[in-house]
Each structure stands twice: as structure tokens, then as C-alpha cells.
Structure 1
């Protein structure tokens, strides 16, 4: 879809479908829609009827029954002005885009005149464009009867002569963020027989080549030379060899010693190992690299939008499979950081790969702040459902920046406690640590296990096990992968510019 901005005075390229956002207390004459009297009377009739109340999420299609454009007007109810926020706009635009697609519209326009007093122009246009990009997505590449996309053009109409720069800035940012989210979704949705660790590394390289960040890929021999023992223990049962993926972006050479490290869990398939999952539990385990997909997607946006922060992203990618070479419950294994680990459950494998990746990003890439993001625990779904990402952190300021980023993109986060008493649960009688803390506080102990390897560096652990996957289409999210984390990490990096 191609996006444009256009002054309301322009009469060129009339769209087939018009979107009109409408508050409960709006007056038609105040919207400055630049429509002829016939169209205005049809809108007024619809607004005066009992069927459309302008409630948030309510859509009303007005079919004009004519060949010339516009052919349809879609009224988008967004509730009361005092309750308005960007995510309501994001969800309602997505709903309207899907409705326009069902009407086989090739072009859409929206007049943002009644929104500009409520939010910054670049926020509004970013939100509209990213929503339109995300709403179009459907993972159908392996279906023989997939339908071609119909929507070709989306135009944002404005009536402010001197604000074109802000409008176009927002549109550009929204498109790039939407595409970053879709890249993450596409990677997660790929089946494990297609997306092996080697292929994930190649996809990261492709994203780097297209976006402008550096990518270095370490093979198995190089990983062994780095002494990444915990990572290799998880990887060794698979016929598909592991890969360590390192992505680098230098956005602030003046502060070259300040580096944000992003670490994404990259299990391209997880059987649970010898602590095997059920068949039903394995069906969606192609999604166990949702953290890796998020950091790859985020790196594309960070680079294209030229964030003024130095960022390194690392993915330790492998499969957790079963063979005569599998690591076992009861094994004591090493780690790059030198700590020994008692393995009590081979299905708690992601944290083993993450601790080596975290140690690498601090020791070798000199990251001064670290974020790890992972589909790590079922416990987070029990605690927070599929709406909210659980967070463990050792730094109040760093978490506050994440919280602010969350409010911008509405990828919800909630900080969990990290008291020292929880750390007692991961102490082992026979090694430095054990890889599970027992049946209680599973999300917290998993996060704190990783935290044992970050030292004094400010650190955030994001558990997206619940938020990275959706069982149904909803708003701008599609069934399957949600791409959670790609936009959130970008906005976190932007917060750190300040």
C-alpha cells in the first residue's frame, strides 16, 4: 500500500472509500470535510438515525451506489473525546481498513482535521499509517488459493498549510514500524522445517542488508571457541546446527561507550527435549523464537529511522530436540559466564541460551544496558494472560523508559517483583544455579536466573510467552504471531535518546 498526504483543498485522485472519524459529541459542520451537499446529507441522515451512535469501535458503511469516487463512506465511531487515545485510533483504523478491503476498495482517504487538537500531528499520522500496514497482514504464503491484496493507496488529508513536514514524518515512521512488526510476525509464523537456525541467521542478514545494520554470524566452531557451554548443551541434540547472530548499529558515535544490548530468544523449535512437551504443546513451538523476531524487527526500525543510540542485538539460535546426544535432567553444565548450572528440566532451555547471549553482549560487545526478550514461561500466561508482557528489572529508571515506550505503542507491560527471597529458589545444592525454581513464581525465577549474568548493568527481562501469539484476528493483530516487541523495543531506544 502506498501512503500519501494531501491538502484538503486538492481535488485530485479522489479515493474510492472515505474514512470519517466521529466522536460522540461531534458536529458535522465542524469537521470541514469538503464534501458536496448530497454526500453531507447522506452522512447527516446516518448520524441522525438510531443505528449509529458513534460509540468507540462502531463502524457504519454508507454505500453511495454510484460509479464515481467516493463510492463508500465509512463512519468510524471513536467514543468520547475525553476517552480518546492512540490505541483506540489504531484499533479503529485497522477495523475500517479491513472493512474497506471487504468492499474491494483500491484507495482510501481520511481527513484528520477533528483529531489534531487532541494529539500531535506526527503521533496521529504515525498511528494511522502503522495500523493500516499491520491490519493488511495475513500469513497465507503456503495457501494455493490466497487472495491478492486489493488496497493500493491510503491518503491522509489535512487542512494545516504549514504542518506537512510533521504529517509526512509521522507517516514514514508509522510505515516503518508497521513493517518491522510484520517482519517479526512473518519470521515467527514460518514453520520450523523452513526456518532453521541457519535460515533465521540468513533472514537477519537480509534485514541488515536492506536496512543498513551490520550482521555477523558465528557458526558452531566459533560458538565453541567463545565457550558458550549452556547454549551448546541445548543445541547439541539437533541435526540443525546452532548460529549466533550479532547485529550492530552505531547511531551515536559521540557516545561510543554507551551501547544498548538487545538479546532475543531464538529457539526455532522446542520439543522440550527429554522433558518432552505434549503434541498439543509442540504445535506452536515454531513461535519460540518470538524474541529473536522482535529484536530483528526492532533493528530494522531503529536503523531506518536513524535513532541516535548505539545498539547491538544478539540471538543465540538453535533447536531443542531429542536424540542420544540430548542433555539430560540432572546434568551439571557450564556457561560462558563461568557459573555452573544444574539442569532440572530440559524444557527450561531458553534461559540457558539467553545467559550465554547476555554474557556475550556484555563481555564482547560491551553493552552498558541490556534488554532480553523471550517466550520464556507458561507461568506468565497464568499471571498476566495474553494481554500483558511480564517484566523483571534491576533498574527503576530503565523500567520507567520501557513503561513510557509501552504507552506510545500500547504493547502493555507489567513489572514483577524481584526480591532477594526469589533468588533463593534458583540456588542449587550441587552447582551455582539450577535452571528452574520450582512450581512457584516461575516467571520471576526464570527472569532472575538470567539476571545472575548481567552484573551491575541496568537490565530488563521481557517475557512475551503470552503476548507473542494470538488465537484469533483482533484489531491490527492477526491470528498467529503478533510481532510483539518490535515496536516496543524501537520506542524504548527512542526514549533513551533523551
Structure 2
């Protein structure tokens, strides 16, 4: 779907020719659901027959007769459930995204190529959603994210009758057209960024390498005016980036450090985003079990999140500077591969005993964090990485693990994640965990054993951020197999992309100290 095919209009919905016209009905505790007058008679009849009460995801789908005043081929009345009394804005917004995802599902079931959506009035939503901009945006995000599909490599199994997704979405509103339009535009920026991150993750390891990260960043910079830089192997050798170079030793594809910069002249601060770009993780010599190893193409989801967040940054042009760094390589067991027991030296001079070559993500992030902080001197730094299986044991597939050295930054990330429907859960970090990664032969070692594995991985990264406010997002449990939602497909979710976008949108200079 093209972004310019998603529009906001102030027009009588019944007069618009479309494959599917969507209205919403709100459950009303034993009474007839509240709905638009255009579908009142249909809803009343269905309610009287006890076929419809407006419960969440409940549907009435009907086909207007030829002489009807309604020009649409089909009409959907979708239940939203009761007015959401939830005072938490994030929870209320996610309910709307779910509604949008259900709209996308119906579009797929009837193979609608275009849809017209009548936005519900704020009183039908939630006391927490008084702003029509954000409520319209959440609904739009849900439809766009719910319409996602990845079928690039389907050839012999593709049929002419397969549904390719929506071509056009029109949002109809009777009031606040300008404000609603702004919300839909922001929704497009965030949702398409997340969909691009999903595309990257869905690419197989032989079609998405460090070179592809670099090519994507270079093209995005050319299209939007962002700054672009790519550190190649020789330059990283000269700089002493021993972590990423060590992980790359067993690979035939050179490692790259890919950088995108949005640095407006009037900026007062800069936010640094770092994403793990491990394009395929075999575990190296500490090889992973073969069962499920195909999912290790997803080990670059953190890198995808920070790269794609820059799409929205480039379009929205915030006052704060934003820099994204992706250390990109794969982790293979070639003849020159890193051995368990090897000692490496990172960019900042910290030496590390590599106990397990499958704990490689922290090795490549360490160099990127140390170099990025020294080079850009950011107000804060955030990293996203599919770093540990331990976070899945602790939090399942429902929360992203958060570790931070700064309370204000942690709260800002929590708020941004809540608004995005990407909740985070903060874990502790102190000297007791740091003791677990002490080495007898080097400054640190790259694993602290099974206990508190997510936290000790973060403790490793903390050695490379100094006093800079820092937040680490372990997305291993949410980057794919995320909590089932109508707008999240099976496979990669694009998580953290919209969290970062929300963080930048709501940034206030001086808030993090």
C-alpha cells in the first residue's frame, strides 16, 4: 500500500463507492449498541434477534440493495465493546489498534481492495482519549499494521486469486478534519516504519546481510536528506573495534557499522539509538541447536527497529537530534571463527574473555555504544537487541525487558512503549550482577551464567556507556511471537520501532539528567 493512498476526508460516507464501508458500534450494557444513524436499523434488528450486542470484534456484514442510498458494495458494523473506562491512555489506544486490526481482517476475508472507515466520535471511545488526533492515529495504525503481509518469495504457490492487501484507505470524519488528518499522517509514519522493520526481519539470512543494512541506510539518506556513514572493516580495525570484528571472523561477509544522522542546526540535544544487526546467528563455535535455528535470521530486529525509526524522524523533523547506529554482521563458525576462551579488546580498551561465542550480541553492541557516545556526545543512548533467551523465561512474549542506569530515561521509555502498545518491564542492575561477569584473565567475561542472564548481559553493556544516561531494551521475547493481537502478524512484530518514534515525538530538552 502506498502512503498517499491513505487519506482523510469530510464527506458523507454513504455516497462513497467502495468495496467496504466500516461503521462502529459500542456495547451499551443490555441496551441497543450506540452506532451511526446510517446503520441504526440494521443494528437494531440484529440486537433484537440477539445476534449482535456490540461486543469487541462482533460483526454485522451486509450488502446494500441496488436502490439503497449507500453506494458501498458491502457495509461492516464492527463492535468495539463498551466505552473503555480505562484511564490509562496507552491501554485505550491499544484497544483502538485492535479494532483497526479487526477491520484489516475483514478486508482480507472479503478481499476488499479499498475501504472507507467512519471514525467514531470521542464519546464512544474512552475518557482517556479526548484528543481526536491520537485516537484516529491509533485506529489507522491498527489497520495499516493489520494489513501487513510478506509474500515476496512466493512464486509457484502464488495464485491470481490471492489477496494482495489494501490499495486505499479513506477515513471519514465529520469534525476536526485537520486534527484527525495530523493523527493519520503520524500513524502512517509510524506504522509504515514498523512494517519496513518487519520486512527486514522476514528477509532470509542470504538476502539480508550487513551490505543490505548499508544499502538501505544509504538510500534512505539520499531520499530524505539524513546523514549517512558506514564504517568498513579496515576503519574498524584502525579504531580497535575488537568486539564486532571478533564476531565477524568466521564469516565471508564483512562487518559494517552503519550510521544514520538527523542533526538539525537548532538542536539542543541528541538522542543516540543503537540496534543489534546480527543478520544470522548460528552461535559460532558455541553452536545453537539445529531445531529452530532458522529463526535466527530475526537476530537483527533491534537494528531494523532503529533504522526504520529514522524513516519517521526524517519525515517529522523533530527539534532534537537523532542518530542511529547498527553494528551489522552474522555469527558463523568458519575456520577463523572466534573461539571460546579467546580474549578481545573493545573500542574503549576494555578487554573481554569470550566464554561463549553465542553471547555475541553484547560484543558488537559494546563497540557501537562506546564509539557512538564518544563521537556524538548524546544526551542519552538507547539500544535494542534480541539479546537473551533469559528474558523470555522471565517475561514471556508479553513484555520487553528494560535495564537502565537512569530513572528519568527509564520512565520516558516506559511511557513511549505504553503509547505504542509495546510494554516494557524494568529489571534491576547493580554491582551484585556486575560481579557475575568478572573474569580471572580479562577485565570482564561475556557471560555470567544462567542466573539473571538478561541482567548480566546488560551489565556487560553498562561497561561501555560510562555516565551517559542509557536504556537497554531486550526484545528477544517480543521481536517475534509477540502477544497475539489483531494487528500483529505471525512472525516479526517490528517492536521497538514505534516506541523509539514515540520517545522522539515526546522528547523535552533537559528532561534526562
Q: TM-score range by the shorter chain?
A: over 0.9
Q: How does 1:187-198 map to 2 (within 5 A)?
A: 187-198=200-211
**Structure 1 residues 423 and 349 mapped into 2: Cα distance closer, same or farther (>3 Å)?**
same
Please name the residue that 2:357 is paired with: 346
Structure 2 CA distance for aligned equivalents of residues 116 and 58 of structure 1: 20
Structure 1 position 12, deviation (Å): 4.6
Structure 1 CA distance for aligned equivalents of residues 243 and 219 of structure 2: 28
Please name the residue that 1:421 is paired with: 432
For the 8 Å contact 1:388–1:466, the answer to whether it is kept is yes
Please name the residue that 1:50 is paired with: 50
Structure 2 CA distance for aligned equivalents of residues 127 and 206 of structure 1: 29
Structure 1 position 473, deviation (Å): 7.1
For the 8 Å contact 1:214–1:247, the answer to whether it is kept is yes
Please name the residue that 2:89 is paired with: none
Q: How does 1:11-410 map to 2 (within 5 A)?
A: 12-25=15-28, 31-33=35-37, 35=38, 39-64=39-64, 66=66, 69-83=71-85, 85-115=92-122, 118=126, 119=129, 120-144=131-155, 145=158, 147=162, 149-160=164-175, 163-251=176-264, 253-256=265-268, 258-410=269-421
Which has the higher mean CA deviation after the structures are superposed, 128-137 or 344-353? 128-137
For the 8 Å contact 1:59–1:96, the answer to whether it is kept is no
TM-score (norm 1): 0.93
Output the aligned Cα RMSD.
Answer: 2.1
Please name the residue that 1:439 is paired with: 450
Structure 2 CA distance for aligned equivalents of residues 73 and 255 of structure 1: 48
**Structure 1 residues 451 and 376 mapped into 2: Cα distance closer, same or farther (>3 Å)?**
same
For the 8 Å contact 2:23–2:35, the answer to whether it is kept is no
Structure 1 CA distance for aligned equivalents of residues 481 and 190 of structure 2: 19
Structure 1 gaps of 5+ residues are none
Structure 1 CA distance for aligned equivalents of residues 62 and 109 of structure 2: 14
Structure 2 CA distance for aligned equivalents of residues 93 and 79 of structure 1: 13
Structure 1 CA distance for aligned equivalents of residues 310 and 395 of structure 2: 27
What is the CA deviation profile of residues 129-179 of structure 1, one whole-angstrom value per residue up to 9, with x for unaligned ones? 22221111111100010635253322222222xx22211111111111111
Q: What is the number of residues matched between the two proteins? A: 490
TM-score (norm 2): 0.91
Which has the higher mean CA deviation after the structures are superposed, 179-188 or 55-64? 55-64
Structure 2 CA distance for aligned equivalents of residues 275 and 207 of structure 1: 36
Structure 1 position 442, deviation (Å): 0.2
Structure 1 CA distance for aligned equivalents of residues 57 and 429 of structure 2: 38
Structure 1 CA distance for aligned equivalents of residues 300 and 168 of structure 2: 33
Q: Is the aligned partner of 1:491 residue 2:502?
A: yes
Which has the higher mean CA deviation after the structures are superposed, 435-444 or 322-331? 322-331
**Structure 1 residues 47 and 156 mapped into 2: Cα distance closer, same or farther (>3 Å)?**
farther
Structure 1 CA distance for aligned equivalents of residues 201 and 223 of structure 2: 19
For the 8 Å contact 2:100–2:141, the answer to whether it is kept is no
**Match of 1:130, SS?**
helix
Structure 2 CA distance for aligned equivalents of residues 481 and 321 of structure 1: 22
Which has the higher mean CA deviation after the structures are superposed, 176-185 or 69-78? 69-78
For the 8 Å contact 1:130–1:176, the answer to whether it is kept is no
